Structure 1
Amino acid sequence: MKLTVIGCWGGYPNKNEASSGYLVEHNGFNLLIDCGSGVLSRMQNYIQPEQLDAVLLSHYHPDHNADIGVLYHARLIKGFLGTKPPVLPIYGHNLDQHEFSKLTYKNVTKGVAYDPEQSIEIGPFTITFLRTVHPVPCFAMRIEAGGKAIVYTADSAYKEEFVYFSREADVLLCECNFYGHQNGKGAGHMTSFETGQLAQSAKVQQLVLTHLPHYGEIDQLVKEARQNYSGPTQLAEEGLSISL
């Protein structure tokens, strides 16, 4: 299983970069996790839109789904150019029917509702969900294939249930929108200290901080996370690739 970071910024993308988007590959199957602003542009450095096999969304905030419309237009245009790709399944929850309805576009994409109480199979991946602490319905994901596991927290304040959900994951891709001296609970985000606490309690193999803030010295996030976690820790950045 291989993880490639396409975008890692919270709220909006930095110049020439993207907000949340992560490519997970295994046995030739290409799964895009979240598709925020700028993701489609940056993704083409690694894979073309018609090469995606599925998309999975954590929630419907624009920094996680803004480029869905751009994606289905890209695949539509590829069809006009003579290489029509198959209908692309886009998995999302249906707790917001208005947003979920936007995932289906002509015969280009098809919205597929996942039940967060059940695990699902997407290609070679088995995916389980955990509802997060966020202003809108949002779901963390545990993605497993080939005996390896990646946990993506999506957007959330800290909750104890993350410890069991993330247990012994090979990679914890953890949101970190706040610094250690702040309180992210009201905004539905984690602090750097909390990410380290989670990683240490869950005994994960490595911690990658994502959904990064646009202020402060972001390297400080790693230093603060390391106060609670003794394992490998790094910031997400476009192009970061981890093979498991």
Structure 2
Amino acid sequence: MAGCVIVRVTILGCCGSIPGPDRAASGYLLEAGGFTMGIDLGNGTLARLQAVRDPFELDALLLSHLHPDHCADFSALTVLRRYHPAPPFDTRERRLPVYAPSQAPARLANAYAPHESERLETDLSDVFEFHALHHGVLRVGPFQVTAVPVTHPTESFGVRVTDGARTFAYTGDTGECPALDELAEGADVLLAEATWTHADDRPPGLHLSGRQAGELAARARVGRLLLTHVAPWTDGEAVLREARSRYDGPVRLVEQGAVYDI
């Protein structure tokens, strides 16, 4: 929808790998023109979502991958949509669209199952409408979303989102890979994971350092760099210094609860 300005990205949580003290794991809201898309829903993010928005106001949810720090609160969202005594609409008539890796229906059902005997029989399609992500473009409300497979131990995607006027890119969890340049090229805002500081012995194909996130932002000529997914045992200020040493544009370490215009 050309001309519909992406209003804001809200940080529900930004702690990497696990939640930290009073800090939720990964979760974000991207909003434009009255449409709200959740991106990831890690440990603690549903609580943060309820603090800023009615969860029933979510119009769509996108999960970059199925590690718990990016999707653990999906089970709680299932309980909310199935058992809230007075929802604002019939959640079975108005299922929430969920865009996620191909194994999401089965793996999220297994995570939700109340006990072992129900694991294989649990089906979440009564309140969710699942769509498998793949390398390509899809329309989600006012957004054109390009999903790009990235390098991580499980099926993982970065996403590039545009409304025709502004472009937001999110790396998800990833090690260095050529796909990141496609993802970030010319984006107005790049939300990049930066789990740790740089070292030559970091395991490949897992996460980015602050330095690598800064190099990506510089190489892709992005307008602004936002750093996220810093692990609770990592010095965030050191990660920020690394990014600034490689990228001379605006860069910030995101904060839980912060709202950034795009």
- 2:141 is matched with 123
Match of 2:132 among 107, 113, 124: 113
**TM-score, normalised relative to structure 2:** 0.86
- 1:74 is matched with 80
Match of 2:45 among 19, 39, 47: 39
Is the alpha carbon distance of 1:76 and 1:221 closer, same or farther for their aligned partners in structure 2, counting shifts above 3 Å? Answer: same
Q: Structure 2 counterpart of 1:27, which letter?
A: G
Q: Deviations over 1:96-140 (max 9, x none)?
A: 6632666952532222223x2220001011111211111111011
- 2:219 is matched with 201
Match of 1:170 among 177, 185, 188: 188
State percent identity of aligned pairs: 32
How far residue 12 of structure 1 moved from its aligned partner, in angstroms, is 1.2
Stretches of structure 2 that go unaligned for 5 or more consecutive residues are 1-5, 113-122
- 1:87 is matched with 95
Distance 1:191 1:183 in 2: 12
* Secondary structure of residue in 1 paired with 2:9: strand
How far residue 171 of structure 1 moved from its aligned partner, in angstroms, is 0.8
Q: Structure 1 counterpart of 2:20, which letter?
A: N
Bigger drift between 160-169 and 189-198 goes to 160-169
Distance 2:168 2:202 in 1: 23
Q: CA RMSD in A?
A: 1.9
How far residue 239 of structure 1 moved from its aligned partner, in angstroms, is 1.5
Q: Structure 1 counterpart of 2:26, which letter?
A: S
Is the alpha carbon distance of 1:106 and 1:98 closer, same or farther for their aligned partners in structure 2, counting shifts above 3 Å? Answer: closer
Q: Deviations over 1:166-189 (max 9, x none)?
A: 111011100101102354443610
Q: Structure 1 counterpart of 2:97, which letter?
A: P
Q: Structure 2 counterpart of 1:166, which letter?
A: A
Bigger drift between 102-111 and 202-211 goes to 102-111
- 1:179 is matched with 197
- 1:55 is matched with 61
Stretches of structure 1 that go unaligned for 5 or more consecutive residues are none
Distance 1:24 1:40 in 2: 15
Match of 2:251 among 213, 233, 236: 233
Match of 2:179 among 153, 157, 161: 161
Q: 1:49, 1:75 within 8 Å by CA — same for their partners in 2? A: no
- 2:107 is matched with 99
Q: 2:150, 2:179 within 8 Å by CA — same for their partners in 1? A: no
Distance 1:185 1:73 in 2: 37
* Secondary structure of residue in 1 paired with 2:41: coil
- 2:35 is matched with 29
- 2:14 is matched with 8
Distance 1:92 1:217 in 2: 31
Q: Structure 2 counterpart of 1:144, which letter?
A: T
Q: 1:33, 1:55 within 8 Å by CA — same for their partners in 2? A: yes
* Secondary structure of residue in 2 paired with 1:242: strand
How many residues are paired up? 242
Distance 2:205 2:12 in 1: 24
**TM-score, normalised relative to structure 1:** 0.92
* Secondary structure of residue in 1 paired with 2:245: coil
- 1:134 is matched with 152
Distance 1:3 1:96 in 2: 24
